Amino acid sequence: MLQQRTALRPLTAKPQPTLNRRALTLAVHFATAGLLAAPLLSQPAIAQVTQQQARHYDIASGPVSTAINRFAAQAGVFISGAGELGEGRQSPGLQGQYSVNEGLERLLDGTGLTAALQRDGSYRLAEQVTDVSLSTMQVEADWHSTAATESSNSFTTDRSTIGLSEQAIKDIPQSVSVLTRERLNDQNLTSLKEAMEQTTGISVMSYGSNQYQLRSRGYDIDSLMLDGSRVEAPYGSLANTGLYDTALYDRVEVMRGPTGILTGSGEPSGTVNLARKRARRDFGFDMSLSAGSWDTYRSTIDVTGSLNESGSLRGRIVGVYDEQESFVDEVNAQNAIGYGTLEYDFTPDTTLSVGVARQTEDSRPHSGLPVASNGNLFDVDRSTYLGSSWDRSHANATRYFADLKHYLNNGGFFSLKANQIETYRMNVTSSEGALVLDEDSGDMLTRNSSWSNRTKSESLEARLTTPFNLFEAEHATTLGASYNKNDSYTPYAYGEGDYLNQHSLQNIYSPHELPEPDEYSLYPGYVSSDLSQESLYGQVNWSVTPRLTLVTGGRLDWYDITSDLAEGDWRRHRAGSGREFTPYYGAIYEITPSINFYTSMSNIFQPQTEVESSGEIIEPRTGEQIEAGIKGGSPDGELNWHLAVFNIEDQNRAYTAPDNSAFSIPLGETRSRGFEAEISGSPLPRLDISASYAYTDTEYTRDASLEGLSLSPDTPRHNFKLWTRYRFSDDANQGWRIGAGVNTVSSIYAEDGTNRWEQGGYTLLSAQLGYRFNENFDVSFKGNNLTDEKYYSTVRSNTRHNYYGDPRNFTFNLNYSY
């Protein structure tokens, strides 16, 4: 029997309450800016129309999960719970003309399951119970995003929350990739770094233990989003990365190209959204243990469930501990991560979610290898470490968050978010850099240093998403206001030696322990920055015809930025403020029900603190992208793909004035253009695949000294990534499976004006063998870099930050879930 929330509340739409003063104020702002030309009028939920429409279905009998997935794809609705509840149950199939409600009832006949309509128009499977009203109330209060990928058993998903609202990926006129929970588990991608190494078009540059840099389309990704809340990553550098451990998240979403309407200021690269695991109503327990090469050990535990009888109060806790040595001598790291969240339903339509995440880390830092004076990369053992046993690093980070969401009767929602992150990191190292004296002998002078960094990020956001009717067509709009503030302070100093005497003499061919200085007092200094940003934004999806949708939007930002540099007696203070409007335009045309063509123009800005000779702060850099592409999928929704071409132009870059080096001029321009292709999902029964190719070409198109050179020489021009898995059993919860992967990149290089050092292209192979005993117990064995390719994964500076990639390595993983 089909259960509906209408058992408690009739489908008849209630009169829409008058918009509150805050929403009205926002609407006035955007109407003035020319963004909105329509009042926010209520309409019955679009989902109700879909539920009543009849379609023809031809779905064979078989496992419930397979039948439900095919029905969902053909009906155009989202149905959750099939993976966790459908195992071991057979559906009788469905042939003929049915509405959504009728079709679900027949598909689930005799399975002991029922489908319950959610507030957002999706469905969730549940066990049949005698007390129908109680079951309906429990399901109605469950607050899961339809984009959630837990228990999907799939490498693909057709929905994402990385935009201003949750929507189908093919309806977003920009490139979006999602790594599902199944994909993260299957490839054993436990860190954000590992996840990004498998993501379309993303390059990852390492900076030692748990520090790295992300790049997309030739530009640094300088901010992340945690459940849509912005987190700064200055210059694309990520530390305190335990907060980004994938054990805490349901999925990893990536949007490439400028994302100014989402983040305001930033690089024209893209952004990454980490969608956290939410508390679930049903009890769940998951524990994983793994062991790997170089004494790498990891354990995780994940527990969730209801905390009261009605299920209106739910909780979830996740704990992670890992410790690892390294193929590099002396380098090691230990990490402990905890995450907890509570969710409470004030009403079936209003839910509050609060939580905290905490990370601590101790490690021995690794500054990489220098290059020879003639620009050659040293061909030394990959285990070479130029530091000392007293080198050390400690870090901790804490995140607090709160999220209130209220669903409207017309299918829209209103949300309030608050987020705070505080981080701390300290580093003491004996070889922060190295100056090569003689390549043949390997002698070099090293520089020891001590530094620490504290950051604090705060954000508040209010957002309203609602459908409205105009000219006999249904449209959708999103309005929002946000406040972001980020403060960072980094003091530093150098110890005795610092390229000055024989106490810092090291040898790259036979490294040895260096004496630790008594104090770090040379060239003391600090770097500090403060950025605050207040924003109003809005977007409208206009249904021009049944097949054509136009997207117009924009964001208005008020920003204040200060930057202070000091070393010894030298000081420099810069400050700037301003207002920037960032427009967004897009068009989506439905070629078939499962294939869309799209094009868009997206923009972003980046405040600068450089000063012209007039004393005025240089205006912000501006980045603009034109992108066009095709997104589609198989009729059953089990396979998704996209193709995209893009051109990014970044203008008004400050560079040193040729007639006075104390000042800058805003004439620099860069360009990035390329092509991307991606496919993910299941092209054949029991076969899952994720494959991508990215071509990226970057150039300084206007610069006093760099014109014609590559903007990002350490971004490979060609980047191919593949992972595939084959199950030998029709039952996803039992039997053998094998996996194989290929990662291929073209050459990368760095240069200093005199020399160039280059790493040629290379290919890495990986493979996995796994066995699932039942729905609870699974083991797997995975190998990476099976041919033991020796290569530099990162090339950057002539004094440091050139890193070998991982040699051949293996990991054994054991998982128990209930």
Q: What is the pLDDT of residue 660?
A: 66
Q: What is the pLDDT of residue 800?
A: 86
CA angle (515, 516, 517) in 5-degree steps: 115
Average pLDDT over residues 358-368: 93
Q: How far apart are CA 433 and CA 506, in angstroms?
A: 11
Q: How far apart are CA 576 and CA 55, in angstroms?
A: 59
Of 177-186, 514-523, 633-642, the range with the lowest mean pLDDT is 514-523
For residue 786, what are the CA distances in angstroms to 183, 326, 693, 767, 768? 20, 17, 21, 8, 11
Q: What is the pLDDT of residue 77?
A: 78
Q: What is the pLDDT of residue 3?
A: 38
Q: How confident is the model at residue 67 (pLDDT cuts 50, 70, 90)?
A: confident
Q: Are 408 and 15 in contact (CB under 8 A)?
A: no
Identify residue 591 by its one-letter amino acid code.
I
Q: How far apart are CA 80 and CA 167, in angstroms?
A: 16
Q: What is the pLDDT of residue 287?
A: 98
Task: Give yes or no for residue 712 having a pLDDT over 60.
Answer: yes
Task: Give yes or no for residue 624 having a pLDDT over 90.
Answer: yes
Task: Give yes or no for residue 291 having a pLDDT over 90.
Answer: yes
Report pLDDT digits (tens) over 743-785: 999 999 998 878 899 999 999 999 999 999 998 999 999 999 9
Average pLDDT over residues 353-370: 94
Q: How confident is the model at residue 109 (pLDDT cuts 50, 70, 90)?
A: confident
Q: How confident is the model at residue 239 (pLDDT cuts 50, 70, 90)?
A: low
Average pLDDT over residues 257-265: 91
Of 90-104, 416-430, 748-762, the range with the lowest mean pLDDT is 90-104
Comparing CA positions, the residue from 630, 748, 777 lying closest to residue 287 is 777
Of 104-108, 206-210, 225-229, the range with the lowest mean pLDDT is 206-210
If you compute the radius of gyration of the chain from its CA atoms, what whole number of angstroms results? 27
Q: What is the pLDDT of residue 90?
A: 86
Q: What is the DSSP string of 406-455?
A: EE-TTS-EEEEEEEEEEEEEEEEEEEEEEEES-TTT-EEEEEEEEEEEEE
Of 87-96, 333-342, 441-450, 487-496, the range with the lowest mean pLDDT is 87-96
Q: Are 94 and 70 in contact (CB under 8 A)?
A: no
Average pLDDT over residues 617-629: 92
Report pLDDT digits (tens) over 577-604: 899 999 999 999 999 989 999 999 999 9
Q: How far apart are CA 399 and CA 418, in angstroms?
A: 11
Q: How confident is the model at residue 515 (pLDDT cuts 50, 70, 90)?
A: confident
Q: What is the pLDDT of residue 251?
A: 96
Of 143-152, 164-173, 253-262, 316-325, the range with the lowest mean pLDDT is 143-152
Comparing CA positions, the residue from 133, 86, 143 lying closest to residue 111 is 86
Q: What are the contacts of 545-550 at 24+ separation with CB within 8 A?
A: 546/590, 547/589, 547/590, 548/587, 548/588, 548/589, 548/590, 549/171, 549/587, 549/588, 549/589, 550/585, 550/586, 550/587
Average pLDDT over residues 787-803: 93
Q: Name the residue with higher pLDDT: 239 or 258.
A: 258
Q: How far apart are CA 614 and CA 621, in angstroms?
A: 18
Q: How confident is the model at residue 661 (pLDDT cuts 50, 70, 90)?
A: low
Phi, psi at 400, each rounded to 5°: -115, 140
- Structural domains of the chain in order of their starting residue, each with its CATH number: 5-141 (3.55.50.30), 159-275 (2.170.130.10), 276-378+388-817 (2.40.170.20)
Q: How far apart are CA 508 and CA 431, in angstroms?
A: 11
Task: Give yes or no for residue 305 having a pLDDT over 70.
Answer: yes
Report pLDDT digits (tens) over 12-48: 333 333 334 333 333 333 333 333 333 333 333 334 4
Q: What is the pLDDT of residue 93?
A: 87
Q: What is the pLDDT of residue 741?
A: 98
